[in-house]
Amino acid sequence: MRLVTWNINSVRLRFDLLREVASNLDADVICLQETKVIDDLFPLAACRDMGFPHVAFHGMKGYNGVAILSKRPITEIRTPSWCEKVDCRHLIAVIDGIEVHCLYVPAGGDIPDPEANPKFAHKLDFLREITAWYGANYTPCDRVIVAGDLNIAPLETDVWSHKQLLGVVSHTPIEVELLGRMQESIGFVDAMRHFIPPTERLFTWWSYRSADWTVNDRGRRLDHVWVTPALAGSLRSTLVARECRAWTQPSDHVPVLVELEG
């Protein structure tokens, strides 16, 4: 299985780029975040024409939204909600006996203070709630993949400057701690870092605000793929499609590929 995750930042605006991603990365399964479209307007026929006959989507107008495109049959679909909000951030599709979770964690706004910033408070509550849910409902023996924009860069090498970003939302100590607890809830394996050493810089996102992102390379690794220990032995490779950030009208995120055997 060649699984790709990508925060596409509008599936209708960037559908031509999605075709390129699907073809260039030879994807079997694609997890999309920030589809930004209600379900009635999701480009289902175009996805099927592209070679993905099995599609699940969970969207809303203007923001958020998640989707899973698959060349293989989807036998079950679920759409959990968190923090008493139906904001289309979590989609589960069962493919070949594997639960594929497409997840979009709240960004959290700009102020890293839960008392002053309700968006940051929501992000922290979201992480706590979903962590408890994973721990209560799954074990390391289950076959689960979590793929998506988790909006946290946990390692020092996941950001362009650990020192300068310690007070910036996405790399604050409390976010890193909570993401670590989520990962530990059932022993998730970081599929990207399984192949790329933690000592090596690794980014998947570059701000639109950067005048020339290729020169200053001020990126962050916000996009992740985790697998349960039951699937860790199936991991074969990973790839960050950095070149996609240079395309015309790109997303600020780039696709991430993880290949599993079987």
- Assign residue 187 a region (left: φ > 0; alpha: ψ between -120 and 50; beta: otherwise): left
Does 169 fall in a domain? no
Instruction: Judge whether residue 129 has pLDDT over 90.
Output: yes
Domain count, the chain: 1
Does 112 fall in a domain? no
pLDDT of the residue at 262: 72
Does 132 fall in a domain? no
Q: Which helix (H) or strand (E) holds 230?
A: helix 229-232
* Joined tokens for residue 63: 């923001």
Q: Which domain holds residue 243?
A: 2-104+140-151+187-214+221-260
pLDDT of the residue at 214: 86
Instruction: Judge whether residue 195 has pLDDT over 80.
Output: yes
Cα(71)–Cα(55) distance, rounded to whole angstroms? 9
**Which residues pair with residue 130 across a beta bridge?**
none
- pLDDT tens for each residue of 56-100: 999 999 999 999 999 999 999 999 999 999 999 999 999 999 999
pLDDT of the residue at 216: 87
Closest CA to 179 of 119, 115, 130: 130
Does 204 fall in a domain? yes
Q: What is the CATH number of the domain that holds 206?
A: 3.60.10.10
Does 241 fall in a domain? yes
Least confident window among 1-15, 79-93, 201-215: 201-215
Does 160 fall in a domain? no
Does 7 fall in a domain? yes
Does 127 fall in a domain? no
Instruction: Judge whether residue 207 has pLDDT over 90.
Output: yes
| 196-202: average pLDDT | 98
Closest CA to 186 of 232, 251, 126, 138: 138
pLDDT of the residue at 211: 72
